[in-house]
Structure 1
Amino acid sequence: MEGMFYNVTNGYVEGIVRGYRNALLTNQNYGNLTQCETIDDVKLQLSPAYGDFLSSLPPNPSTSALAAKTTDKLVSEFRYLQANSTGSLSKFMDYLTYGYMIDNVALLITGTLHERDTRELLDRCHPLGWFETMPVLCVATNIEELYNSVLVETPLAPYFKGSLSHSDLDELNIEIIRNTLYKNYLEDFYQWVNSDPEVSGTPTSEVMSEVLEFEADRRSINITLNSFGTELSKADRKKLYPNFGRLYPEGTLMLSRADDVEGVRIAVDGVGDYKSFFDQTGLSGGGPSLGNMSGGGGDSHKSLEDLFYQKEMEISKLAFTRQFTHAVVYAWVKLREQEIRNITWIAECIAQNQKDRIGNFISVF
């Protein structure tokens, strides 16, 4: 019965998403891409999947231009789904855009701090996170001004609760703003999937709870690792952790007290997945292994970032084994984003003549 009602309102969008998912690059496609000698060869191999979006690229384009055009396809397909969604699915898709909005806010105010060209900064913003007052971000000088003149009319406004101050916009404060917004956003999204009358108790709630708990834990771990050697106090660090997840509350309390990587490893010891990540990366006493854009560093140990991406792909693939759930939209976005990272990584390896590392990408199939 639940499935019948779901299909009446959302069956078309779910069907389209499953079609999008089946159009992702296969392992054979990746095998062909890794044999390419030039970026033009990559472009040719991608033509069946991305043809219309790559047609305007010049000969032998830059990897950043290639990434931008592949992202354009994701944005176009997402907008089509958004235009055909109603009710709770429409709200769900709005939530998916908020993370991009937060990243755009951080990008613009950080770039402005470093006196970067405004037009260049706006070009680098993710299209899914665009909002009308975004260009005004480039003239904000403190947090209060940022909120009152720019963000008060956006969906991000509620996520500033309790985080406003008269602080100037320096690098540390910008990172605190970004992570505070993300914390409030993830908590709000988590509450919505577990309390909205149309969503609570459905497969969407079940799958998205797991997805968001993983994202909350990943952010808590990364915030902790990145805070070492900075001016961020332990008390301020603790305020940035989302108040849910598999690590919450005991694990996040231990994270807030950690002094080094070993302290982080001990804090996550109670969650098997995260414990195995630290075992695989060799993170125990030294500094964190730094990741890269593909998820594949070519070092003897995989980076923690790689393993988080791999876990994200596992969760996303599993979402497609479920029926009658909005979560397939989220999962498809994550799979497509990883595909774009993979393409960019392969193109970058070719451009820099690093063919020995070209296979270090994360499969989405």
Structure 2
Amino acid sequence: MEGLFINIDFPNTLSSGYIEGIVRGYRNDLLTGSQYMNLTQSDTLEDLKLQLSATGYGNFLANVPSPLATSVIQEKAFGKLVDDFRYVRAQATEPLAKFMDFITHGYMIDNVALLITGTVHDRDREEMLARVHPLGWFESLPAISVATDIASLYDMILIDSPLAPYFKDNLSAEELDDLNIEVIRNKLYKAYLQEFYKFSQTLPSPTNEIMARLLEFEADRRTINISINSIGTQLTREARFSLFPEFGSLYPSAADVLSRAEDVEQIKFGIDTSGSPTVDSSLLDGSSNKSLEDHFYQKEMELCKAAFTQQFTYSTVWAWIKTREQEIRNITWIAECIAQNQKDRVNNYIAVF
């Protein structure tokens, strides 16, 4: 019943119902099955550009000179998503504004890890800045290249950023190297997901219920990926377990099994014992042409599709962002297959709806 009040205007602000209407309008602009078919039948990237111009993307490639590159298509498509997101965020009031800010924090964490890794490997600073996700930009981000350890990273750069609360219990005196960077990234993401989950449960129904499913899936996905990527590394059982988000269908019993796993079979056993409604061990069989990441993307799209069946919920914003990101991955995949003349693989994208 609480969801019925989502359309009530806050003082001197636009209603959340108005924003939900905008987001559902954006959702209706997602590529249809027939439009995907037209894209896959393109012979050149110029043909692809023409087909995209007849969709919700419009003339987003109009000022791009020839020859067209896949990277440019991806960049411009992301640019349109960012513009749409920022427009919605500009209309949002609390608590939707805070909800949307939480969405950006995940991209900020990835940007921090990207720039630290680039700094460690002496990569060009401007080149690395060009690769950061626009939704994860914050003012002090370019200064990360001066950090030499975790403490200086926090004290000099991140203390005034939106990520500061997630560093609270994740500081150490260790030098920045590839392993430590990945550990810190996963610790930050764990803290972020837990805070986002806690906040989402304060929102009115059905937002809290839908976001619980979406974020629990994200927690399970990260737990499984961490378990797989930890095999053969120096991470102890305790260190691995400390990276797992402390919620989701795998936590705590299955997570304990996964933290001890030394091969994929043991990971599959841990998943089977969890009785998880969102993930199962068949994802790790390798019996199909899809990677584990593709299986996760497919499941994520199913959950996002279900989120759109509900009315009066902020979760449509999350679902819209995730589906648009998958759509951009699909467009990039199709463009790359065309550019590399591998049309036999052009249909191996993840269906959005």
Shorter-chain TM-score: which interval?
over 0.9
Equivalent residue, structure 1, for 2:255: 252
Q: What is the root-mean-square deviation of aligned Cα atoms in Å?
A: 1.4
Closer, same or farther: CA 3–231 of 1 in aligned 2, 3 Å: closer
- Give the letter for the 1:26 counterpart: T
Deviations 1:101-127 (A, max 9, x none): 000000101111111111111111011
Quick check: 1:16 aligned with 2:45? no
**1:338 aligned to 320, 326, 333, which one?**
326
Equivalent residue, structure 2, for 1:109: 116
Closer, same or farther: CA 73–239 of 1 in aligned 2, 3 Å: same
TM superposition shift of 1:274: 5.9
Correspondence list, 1:195-214, <5 A: 196=202, 199=203, 201-214=204-217
Using the alignment, how far apart are the partners of 2:127 and 2:278 within structure 1? 38
Equivalent residue, structure 2, for 1:32: 38
**1:220 aligned to 215, 220, 223, which one?**
223
* Mapped contact 2:249–2:276 kept (Cα < 8 A): no
Using the alignment, how far apart are the partners of 1:101 and 1:40 within structure 2? 34
Where does structure 1 lack aligned partners over 5 or more consecutive residues? 284-298
Equivalent residue, structure 1, for 2:67: 60
Using the alignment, how far apart are the partners of 2:189 and 2:63 within structure 1? 35
Equivalent residue, structure 2, for 1:326: 314
TM superposition shift of 1:271: 2.7
3-state secondary structure, aligned to 2:6: helix
3-state secondary structure, aligned to 2:60: helix
Quick check: 1:92 aligned with 2:92? no
Closer, same or farther: CA 267–240 of 1 in aligned 2, 3 Å: same
* Mapped contact 1:38–1:60 kept (Cα < 8 A): no
Quick check: 1:5 aligned with 2:5? yes
Equivalent residue, structure 1, for 2:12: none
**1:83 aligned to 70, 85, 90, which one?**
90
TM superposition shift of 1:364: 0.9
Deviations 1:175-223 (A, max 9, x none): 01110000000000111111x3xx1x51110000110100000000000
- Give the letter for the 1:28 counterpart: S
Equivalent residue, structure 2, for 1:306: 294
TM superposition shift of 1:354: 1.0
Equivalenced residues, count: 345
Deviations 1:2-57 (A, max 9, x none): 44421123011000000000000000010001111111111111113223421222
Q: TM-score, normalised by structure 1?
A: 0.92
- Give the letter for the 2:324 counterpart: R
Using the alignment, how far apart are the partners of 1:279 and 1:305 within structure 2? 13
Correspondence list, 1:263-302, <5 A: 263-269=266-272, 270-271=274-275, 276=280, 278-279=281-282, 281-283=284-286, 300-302=288-290
* Mapped contact 2:227–2:267 kept (Cα < 8 A): yes
Where does structure 2 lack aligned partners over 5 or more consecutive residues? 9-14
Using the alignment, how far apart are the partners of 1:250 and 1:306 within structure 2? 26
**2:338 aligned to 334, 337, 350, which one?**
350
Correspondence list, 1:165-184, <5 A: 165-184=172-191
TM superposition shift of 1:302: 2.3
Quick check: 1:146 aligned with 2:153? yes
* Mapped contact 1:106–1:175 kept (Cα < 8 A): yes
- Give the letter for the 1:344 counterpart: T
Using the alignment, how far apart are the partners of 1:134 and 1:280 within structure 2? 36
Closer, same or farther: CA 14–363 of 1 in aligned 2, 3 Å: same
Percent sequence identity is 58
- Give the letter for the 1:7 counterpart: N
Deviations 1:132-185 (A, max 9, x none): 000100111111010011110011111112211111110001001110000000
Question: 115-124 or 51-60, which moves further after superposition?
Answer: 51-60
Equivalent residue, structure 2, for 1:290: none
* Mapped contact 1:111–1:121 kept (Cα < 8 A): yes
TM superposition shift of 1:272: 5.2
- Give the letter for the 1:37 counterpart: D
Equivalent residue, structure 2, for 1:289: none
- Give the letter for the 1:104 counterpart: N
3-state secondary structure, aligned to 1:53: coil
* Mapped contact 1:265–1:275 kept (Cα < 8 A): no
* Mapped contact 2:48–2:335 kept (Cα < 8 A): yes
